[in-house]
Structure 1
Amino acid sequence: MPLISPAASQPPSSSRTHALTISTDIPEVVGPPPLGGRLRDLLAGKKIVMTGATGFIGEQLLWKILTELPETTPAVLVRRKGSASARDRVITLVGKPIFRDLVKAAGSKAELVDSRIEVIEGDLPNVPPLPRDLDVVLHCAGDVSFDPPIDKAFATNTVGTRALMDAMLAAVTDDAGTLVKVPHYVHVSTAYTAGRRRGMIPEAQHVHDIDYDTETRWGLKLKETIELESRTPERLTRLRRQAERVHRKAGYLTTARDTEQRRRDWVHDKLVEAGTERARSLGWTDCYTLTKALGERVVADVGRDIRVSVVRPAIVESSLKYPYPGWIEGFKMADPIILAYGKGNMPELPASPDSVIDIVPCDMVVNATLAVCATEPQIGKPVFYHVNSGARNPLTFADLYDHVRRYFLDHPLSPGGRGAAHLPTWSFPGAQRVDQLLNTSTKAYQFADMALKVAPRVEIFRRLARDLDKGGEQIAFLRRYLTIYGEYLRSEVTYLDDNTLALHNELDPADLEAFAFDSSVYDWKDYIEDIHCPAVTKPVRRMEELKRRRSARPATYRELTAAKEPGTVLAAFDLDGTVLNSDVIRSYLWAKLPELGRWGRAKEVASLVRDLPGYLWTENRDRGAFLRSLYRRYRGADLAALEDFVDQELTEVIMDRLAPEAIRRIRDHREAGHVTILLTGTIRPFTRPLAPLFDEIVAADLATDEQGRCTGYLTGPPLVGESRPAWLRYYAATRGIDLKASYAYADSHADESMLRAVGNPVAVNPDVPLMRVAQADHWSIVEWSSHSAGSRNRPRGR
């Protein structure tokens, strides 16, 4: 099948130019045909093939057909998802609350689907054969993101549209190539296909000279071009170095995983950027509206021998009346502004206060679309319908601000149990002022983030990091939202809806209650303050209440369950910073200083301070190299004497620095039949007091000469970073241990790979990078205290 049209099989041509992409010519407006009866009668006995039934508008369209059009058969094109067939997915769909009465009447979800809905398993652009008895094809599927990657936007909005129409025509064409019936193709587009035009936009085909075949081909080809660039040595080097700055301590594989993720993100971002820039170079706001506009041109060209209608909704938000006031699925375009303002996170909006935000309730779009399905437009004369409010019931951004502010003053959000959020006062200073504010905030965030990455591992800095992350998310949200929707906030356009109003006036009086779609009849105060804001804040309030309940719990990690068989679950613990309030440098000083006089101690400390910057630099890059370097200082020490000193003098010091919560947790694991393991890069003598707590202790072993004196080397590489999960996997495989049921406890980002090796990772007093990983992946995060005996338990001289 050709990509778009037969001409598309030719190589891309770079010779074609667009001297004027968007014309100012006055397009021909084709008025709507009369209805002449009730919708249930006009659509009785007809089969409507639908796409997008699992989407926001499609779900309500399906519900409306099943509820109000009992003799109409919806045939839904739904793709398979994993092991769930298309039928399984539709059964799940009708399990949603709005279908409850229909399911009850049918007897079950499966009976409702089997008796009222024809399920077609397929996808766009891979459309299977469609039913030959189809009457209407209603295409309301599509990527509704305003910033899709350019290849996906074209694949969905032009290639997918063409594939659906080709399948429709094949279904109603006989072997001789003659149409056996004339179907009605109804295309749900968007009002914003007008692009960067200003003023009044009529309900007609937009006049422009864009070659959709050429644009589609190049849009799809960009994926290959950008993928190729992402794999060049120069690009990979930059991405790898970025990953190393964040994950170097965690090891090579963790860094490699992040490098690849950064490469994929870079490809995605470049495809989005390419789509945006190409759209703007042709006179459209973004790739979504450009490809939707080109999709309309595909519809007009392919549908020249059939009946075609195009429905162009504006910003679709919660329902006014059906299936109930405020029905909505997910957050739509205006909702992030509303929620951010209610949380106190939207200090300003770079909108023109007198610009219109063209919102229309979802049920009005659904009603209008089904009324369009019941019409019979002239063959080859597409009819366009704007479903919006801006022409006859305009809502400005200043009005929206007033309504939203009043709502939150009366019904404040209470984030985190800290009382009502402070509501900013907007003055609409303009885009440049808001952009300056964002730039200043971004620089402050970056500086604070750099400082926190090297801050001490204490709770106050973790708390500061959490607050900083919330601020960073706010900045990122504002920048992304304003980048995507900035032009819509300052639009100077009015979408005329004469055809839509005329069609509404054609409704039979008996249909006005269930199918009305005149957007001029409702009051914005009632809709925004009493219907829409309560609807979009309801799930947020529910989530905040859930968070408050969770915050009252005494611990954040999961309660232990006994192993089905003893020894089939393990619990691995890091030592320094996790179980023990100490580190390898402090342990070295415990062992070294007591044997020195006053002058020797001063000299040793001075030497250590001199070398400390180098140690820290090395530790930040390679934990193993740092340990090897530090352990050179044990050269000449008597290993047996060191072990005896630990047993006699340091046991009490070490035990006094153990976290009481750690001891309880280790004992809980042992009582549950779990194998307890200590994995540490600390030298083995310092782990001797901990032997009663653990079934296995893996530590660094100092090499000795014939006299038992340390050589300054280790007997093997220290078990740090990514060598720990490798050890765990081998240990588990040889002993029949289930790592998915197992646990691991660590405090450092260097142990991210060890924590990922088990099903129950726990970050204990984590550093800021590990805390962020744990929060992103929903790991348990706990605070374990520890005693510091100070001078009371200072080791005595040997």
Structure 2
Amino acid sequence: RAIAGIMVTIPEYFAGKNVLITGATGFMGKVLLEKLLRSCPDVKAVYVLVRQKSGHAPSARIADMVNCKLFDRLREEHPNFPDKIVPMSSDLTQPELDVSREDQQTLVDCINIVFHCAATIRFNEPLKDAMQLNVLATQKIMALAHRMKHLEVFIHVSTAYANCDRSVIEEVVYPPPVDYKKLIDALEWMDDKLVNLITPKLIGDRPNTYTYTKALAEYLVQQECGSLNVAIIRPSIVGASWKEPFPGWIDNFNGPSGIFIAAGKGILRTMRASNDAVADLVPVDVVINATLAAAWYSGSQRYTRPKSLLVYNCTTGGINPFHWGEVGMNVSLV
């Protein structure tokens, strides 16, 4: 923290800290893990909640993940970085996150900073599944965070589109159209057919269950954070890296990346879109830098910063708008 008016740097703040990351195997989670270990080499340990998948244990999944090109620069600069990663078996959809009692106690005793990145980003996810992953999992992570003895800051990664039904989105948490607690209770007894039937009415002007449940999750965080030091990051459409660890890194063909690649290859020749609509793209490394900076500010200034929950819109459309009508021209120039 700031001492005698001197603010510590981001690497200095993270030095000696134990960090917990959910969603570390996802697109943003990987970049967060790499950037944290590379730029803050004195971080004590990074705990990652990972579910077993296709018979592969969490430790094996992480070992395989860090062998990808994304971690090459980190490997050159800090060859022993895997020693600081502590995988823990978890399933966010299960009671108590399916984390063992022993691992829970470890987290309760040592974690200083939480980055909650895990979410489903499928636009067509059934409402029940989206609620499980985006709302209930957030509630469980917050419950665990309340037990942590040395927690300094909790960062919740949301989306700028959580409130896409509004023409102006300020850096505040907006109340959702329904009480999330009542919706959770109702979904307990409703069958899938009934839920699917009422989903369009529930989500209203929002285009999908993703944006709807992310809005509910934000409100849940605000309502249940209590005395926790919390900040929310709202990125727009997260795309390939700008600079770090190298330009152009991407691990999927989702969203605009798939469109650009398909157009560049000549596979996609037409697309239905408004030429004047803003494609609010933001590089993943910009989002991760903002996320780490938010944790640093909220943590290092926790005794002097505003007591209210802080929200950061991480977007480009307001300052450097890129329109869908420009896609064809720019892709053809590459």
User: Scaled by the length of structure 2, what TM-score is found?
Assistant: 0.86
8 Å contact kept, 2:19–2:112: yes
8 Å contact kept, 1:76–1:117: yes
Tell me if 1:93 matches 2:93: no
- Map 1:718-729; keep pairs closer than 5 Å: none
Per the TM alignment, residue 148 of structure 1 is displaced from its structure 2 partner at its CA by 0.8
Q: Which amino acid aligns with 2:258?
A: P
Distance 1:221 1:379 in 2: 41
Q: Which residue number corresponds to residue 74 of structure 1?
A: 46
Tell me if 1:164 matches 2:141: yes
Q: Residue 234 of structure 2 aligns to a residue in which SS?
A: strand
Distance 1:217 1:195 in 2: 26
Distance 2:147 2:93 in 1: 15
Per the TM alignment, residue 75 of structure 1 is displaced from its structure 2 partner at its CA by 1.2
Q: Which residue number corresponds to residue 179 of structure 2?
A: 211
- Deviations 1:562-598 (Å, cap 9, x if unpaired)? xxxxxxxxxxxxxxxxxxxxxxxxxxxxxxxxxxxxx
Q: Residue 30 of structure 2 aligns to a residue in which SS?
A: helix
Q: Which amino acid aligns with 1:87?
A: S
Structure 1 pair 42–301 and aligned structure 2 pair: CA distance change class (3 A): same
- Map 1:317-466; keep pairs closer than 5 Å: 317-376=239-298, 377=302, 378=305, 381-407=308-334
Q: Which residue number corresponds to residue 123 of structure 1?
A: 91
Q: Which residue number corresponds to residue 153 of structure 2?
A: 184
Distance 1:402 1:326 in 2: 19
Tell me if 1:304 matches 2:226: yes
- Map 1:562-601; keep pairs closer than 5 Å: none
Structure 1 pair 296–49 and aligned structure 2 pair: CA distance change class (3 A): same
Unaligned runs of 5+ in 2: none
8 Å contact kept, 1:79–1:121: yes
- Deviations 1:727-773 (Å, cap 9, x if unpaired)? xxxxxxxxxxxxxxxxxxxxxxxxxxxxxxxxxxxxxxxxxxxxxxx
Distance 2:129 2:245 in 1: 32
Distance 1:342 1:39 in 2: 39
Per the TM alignment, residue 219 of structure 1 is displaced from its structure 2 partner at its CA by 3.9
Q: Which amino acid aligns with 2:232?
A: V
**Structure having the higher Rg:** 1
Aligned length: 315
Per the TM alignment, residue 293 of structure 1 is displaced from its structure 2 partner at its CA by 0.4
Structure 1 pair 217–100 and aligned structure 2 pair: CA distance change class (3 A): same
Per the TM alignment, residue 101 of structure 1 is displaced from its structure 2 partner at its CA by 4.8
- Deviations 1:268-313 (Å, cap 9, x if unpaired)? xx84x764x14542x3221000000000111111112111100000
Q: Residue 165 of structure 2 aligns to a residue in which SS?
A: coil
Distance 1:339 1:220 in 2: 42
8 Å contact kept, 1:58–1:140: yes
8 Å contact kept, 1:155–1:220: no
8 Å contact kept, 1:195–1:290: no
Q: Which amino acid aligns with 1:169?
A: H
Q: Percent of aligned pairs with the same residue?
A: 30
Matching residue within 127, 151, 155 for 1:150? 127
Matching residue within 62, 71, 76 for 2:33? 62
Distance 1:132 1:322 in 2: 33
Distance 1:401 1:160 in 2: 39
8 Å contact kept, 1:304–1:380: no
- Deviations 1:514-562 (Å, cap 9, x if unpaired)? xxxxxxxxxxxxxxxxxxxxxxxxxxxxxxxxxxxxxxxxxxxxxxxxx
Structure 1 pair 142–225 and aligned structure 2 pair: CA distance change class (3 A): closer
Distance 1:93 1:319 in 2: 18
8 Å contact kept, 1:308–1:379: no
Structure 1 pair 355–142 and aligned structure 2 pair: CA distance change class (3 A): same
Q: Which residue number corresponds to residue 113 of structure 2?
A: 136
- Deviations 1:44-69 (Å, cap 9, x if unpaired)? 11111100111101001111111110
Tell me if 1:193 matches 2:115: no
Instruction: Give the number of the structure whose residues are more often helix, by fraction.
Output: 1
Q: Which residue number corresponds to residue 56 of structure 2?
A: 84
Per the TM alignment, residue 85 of structure 1 is displaced from its structure 2 partner at its CA by 1.9
Unaligned runs of 5+ in 1: 1-33, 173-180, 230-269, 408-798
Distance 1:339 1:102 in 2: 27
8 Å contact kept, 1:278–1:287: no
Structure 1 pair 294–380 and aligned structure 2 pair: CA distance change class (3 A): farther
Q: Residue 147 of structure 1 aligns to a residue in which SS?
A: coil
Q: Residue 139 of structure 2 aligns to a residue in which SS?
A: helix
Q: Which residue number corresponds to residue 692 of structure 1?
A: none
Distance 2:209 2:241 in 1: 28
Q: Which amino acid aligns with 1:196?
A: D
Per the TM alignment, residue 406 of structure 1 is displaced from its structure 2 partner at its CA by 2.8
Structure 1 pair 104–82 and aligned structure 2 pair: CA distance change class (3 A): same
Structure 1 pair 102–401 and aligned structure 2 pair: CA distance change class (3 A): closer
Per the TM alignment, residue 168 of structure 1 is displaced from its structure 2 partner at its CA by 1.5
Per the TM alignment, residue 99 of structure 1 is displaced from its structure 2 partner at its CA by 2.1
Per the TM alignment, residue 116 of structure 1 is displaced from its structure 2 partner at its CA by 1.1
8 Å contact kept, 1:138–1:185: yes
- Deviations 1:672-703 (Å, cap 9, x if unpaired)? xxxxxxxxxxxxxxxxxxxxxxxxxxxxxxxx
- Deviations 1:486-538 (Å, cap 9, x if unpaired)? xxxxxxxxxxxxxxxxxxxxxxxxxxxxxxxxxxxxxxxxxxxxxxxxxxxxx
Structure 1 pair 340–118 and aligned structure 2 pair: CA distance change class (3 A): closer
Q: Residue 304 of structure 1 aligns to a residue in which SS?
A: coil
What value does the CA root-mean-square deviation take over the aligned residues?
A: 2.4
Q: Which residue number corresponds to residue 52 of structure 1?
A: 23
Structure 1 pair 398–303 and aligned structure 2 pair: CA distance change class (3 A): same
Structure 1 pair 35–364 and aligned structure 2 pair: CA distance change class (3 A): farther
Structure 1 pair 406–335 and aligned structure 2 pair: CA distance change class (3 A): same
Per the TM alignment, residue 182 of structure 1 is displaced from its structure 2 partner at its CA by 4.9
Distance 2:135 2:295 in 1: 22
Structure number with higher relative contact order (C-alpha < 8 Å, ≥ 6 residues apart): 2
Q: Residue 386 of structure 1 aligns to a residue in which SS?
A: strand
- Map 1:462-501; keep pairs closer than 5 Å: none
User: Scaled by the length of structure 1, what TM-score is found?
Assistant: 0.38
Distance 2:22 2:59 in 1: 14
Q: Which amino acid aligns with 1:83?
A: G
Q: Which amino acid aligns with 2:255?
A: M
